[in-house]
């Protein structure tokens, strides 16, 4: 594929800042990943439409990312275009109704809501994703999740039409939404409905949860949060402990000694190290318990 030509044609469409051979380790919280042939910071929704129109017509592989906090890109080059919606990050408050664009960060959203005395987003005060990725994953913590506060989502479908989906139509479940069955659908923005609360109490809860995260999770290491989805019977970390993998290392990847459902990059891990360790843990748990641990982290650009 002639990415030089694709670069110039995207430039001509004026879709936003385009980077060539952009290393994905710069855009993922795991700090690993080979270069994407092109990386585009889309400037607005019309630009997103024209970029997608062109990429689909030319059959160019493409993928939207948010903050890259739930993905494991392989070490090899991504032969396609990565689309970032980081610049679509507007947040509008209207009473207890919030409209947030896909690129808005979940943490700033939680703190801004707290500031105006709206309660319901405290669970996401430590989730380092953006609204689009959060909705895709139905991100959650402390027995709550995006689905509890999201009224509707505007998406761009495979025909480049803007469609509004209600909460029910989003088919939210445990770390899932309808988007996972429709990789071409792109979240543009979402409407959230919160309750009115006491700003001081909301801030206190956010702070308490931040402290709890810092004491129980390896916050100072590159990672992507929980690696495995929790099986129905017990949390994934218990299985990891029961096969003795807490602290185990492959290359620069390690099952965190602090939280065994986190696999961290000790600073020199390759994506391969991380995936090898994920697969070893899965094998050990399968061998001992017959349980298949499914990954929560999304694997991108692997053979
Ligand atoms: C330290 C740490 C702690 C974490 N704690 C939690 C936690 O408590 N709870 C939790 O649920 N998660 C947690 N996570 C995981 C992660 O932050 C969430 O899953 C988050 O919602 C991912 O958002 P993102 O923007 O980073 O998505 P990305 O990782 O960039 O993308 C994830 C998926 O969403 C898709 N996507 C992204 N944007 C869009 C869009 N606009 N339209 C359509 N698809 C899109 C991507 O294509 C990809 O398939 C944690 C991660 C870290 C690093």
Let me know whether 206 and 115 are in one domain: yes
Q: Which atom belonging to ligand 1 lies closest to the Cα atom of 123?
A: 8
CATH number at residue 78: 3.30.43.10
Q: Given pLDDT bands bounded at 50, 70 and 90, which one contains residue 219?
A: confident
User: Are 104 and 74 found together in one domain?
Assistant: no
Which residues, other chains included, contact 68 with Cβ-Cβ below 8 Å and sequence gap of 6+?
24, 27, 28, 29, 30
Listed residues 84, 101, 129: the one ending a domain: 84
Q: Which residues sit opposite 145 in a β-bridge?
A: 140
Give the model confidence (pLDDT) of 237-290 as tens digits: 999 999 999 999 999 999 999 999 999 999 999 999 999 999 999 999 999 999
User: Which residue segment(s) compose the domain that 283 sits in?
Assistant: 236-300
> Are residues 77 and 108 both part of a single domain?
no
Residue 15 has pLDDT above 90, yes or no: yes
Residue 225 domain-assigned (yes or no): no
Q: Give catalytic status of residue 69 as yes or no.
A: no
In-domain check, residue 223? no
Q: Evaluate if pTM is beyond 0.85.
A: yes
Domain count, the chain: 3
| Per-residue model confidence as pLDDT tens digits over 49-67 | 999 999 999 999 999 999 9
Residue 1 has pLDDT above 90, yes or no: no
Question: Average model confidence (pLDDT) for the chain?
Answer: 96
Closest C-alpha to ligand 1, atom 12 = 139
Q: What is the per-residue pLDDT across 90-141, written as a single tens digit (0 to 9) for each? A: 999 999 999 999 999 999 999 999 999 999 999 999 999 999 999 999 999 9
Query: Of 84, 117, 135, which residue constitutes the final position of a domain?
Result: 84
Q: Is residue 226 part of a domain?
A: no
- In a domain, residue 224? The reply is no
- Has 215 been annotated as catalytic? no
If one counts every other C-beta atom within 10 angstroms of the C-beta of residue 67, the result is 22
């Amino acid at each position: 594929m002639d990415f030089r030509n694709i670069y110039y044609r995207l430039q001509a469409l004026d879709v936003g800042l385009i980077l060539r051979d952009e290393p994905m380790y710069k855009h993922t919280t795991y700090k690993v990943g080979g270069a994407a042939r092109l990386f585009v910071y889309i400037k607005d929704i019309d630009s997103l439409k024209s970029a997608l129109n062109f990429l689909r017509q030319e059959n160019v592989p493409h993928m939207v990312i948010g903050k890259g906090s739930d993905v494991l890109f392989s070490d090899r080059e991504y032969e396609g275009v990565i689309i970032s919606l980081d610049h679509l990050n507007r947040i509008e408050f209207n009473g207890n109704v919030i409209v947030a664009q896909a690129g808005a960060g979940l943490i700033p959203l939680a703190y801004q809501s707290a500031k105006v005395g709206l309660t319901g987003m405290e669970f996401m005060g430590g989730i380092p994703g953006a609204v689009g990725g959060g909705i895709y994953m139905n991100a959650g913590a402390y027995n709550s999740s995006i689905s509890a506060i999201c009224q509707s989502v505007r998406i761009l479908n495979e025909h480049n039409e803007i469609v509004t989906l209600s909460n029910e139509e989003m088919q939210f479940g445990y770390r899932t939404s309808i988007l996972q069955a429709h990789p071409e659908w792109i979240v543009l923005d979402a409407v959230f409905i919160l309750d009115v609360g006491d700003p001081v109490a909301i801030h206190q809860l956010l702070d308490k949860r931040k402290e709890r995260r810092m004491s129980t999770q390896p916050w100072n290491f590159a990672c992507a949060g929980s690696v495995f989805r929790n099986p129905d019977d017990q949390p994934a970390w218990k299985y990891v402990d029961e096969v003795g993998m807490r602290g185990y290392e492959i290359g620069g990847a390690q099952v965190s000694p602090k939280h065994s459902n986190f696999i961290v990059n000790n600073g020199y891990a390759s994506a391969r190290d991380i995936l090898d360790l994920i697969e070893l843990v899965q094998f050990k748990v399968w061998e001992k318990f017959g349980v298949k641990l499914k990954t929560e982290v999304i694997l991108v650009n692997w053979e």
